[in-house]
Amino acid sequence: QQQVKQSPQSLIVQKGGISIINCAYENTAFDYFPWYQQFPGKGPALLIAIRPDVSEKKEGRFTISFNKSAKQFSLHIMDSQPGDSATYFCAASKTGTASKLTFGTGTRLQVTL
């Protein structure tokens, strides 16, 4: 019940296109859903996060769509650029003393010219 399933495993998008990565969770106690970007040999960096009280959140070219009833959330990267080529992880946690993050398996995005 602690799993977060992420798809696709890898994604190739042309420059200027839209990259879409999907995640699904099982634990209904989760109430915080962040997305992280990781470049090779670096630690993850927070991109954007959402709570279940909203269905969509946008920050620049990055948008999270959240479907509470389906227990799914997705990351959309608009106008994808070669510099966006990285591995993206979704995660989930529940508010509390520990607030441990459960990570998805990751999506390797390649944006081609």
Partner 1 sequence: GAVVSQHPSWVICKSGTSVKIECRSLDFQATTMFWYRQFPKQSLMLMATSNEGSKATYEQGVEKDKFLINHASLTLSTLTVTSAHPEDSSFYICSARPRTSGRGKDYNEQFFGPGTRLTVL
Beta strand 19-25 pairing with 45-50: unpaired
83 near partner 1, rule: CB under 8 A: no
Is 98 a binding residue for partner 1 by CB under 8 A? The answer is yes
Copy the structure tokens of residue 67: 């479907």
CB atoms under 10 Å from CB of 9, counted, come to 9
Q: Which of 20, 57, 106, 110 binds partner 1 (CB under 8 A)?
A: 106
Distance CA 48, CA 77 (A): 11
Residue 17 or 49: which CB sits closer to partner 1?
A: 49
| Chain residues that interact with partner 1, rule: CB under 8 A | 32, 34, 36, 41-46, 49, 51, 89, 93, 95, 97-101, 103-106, 108
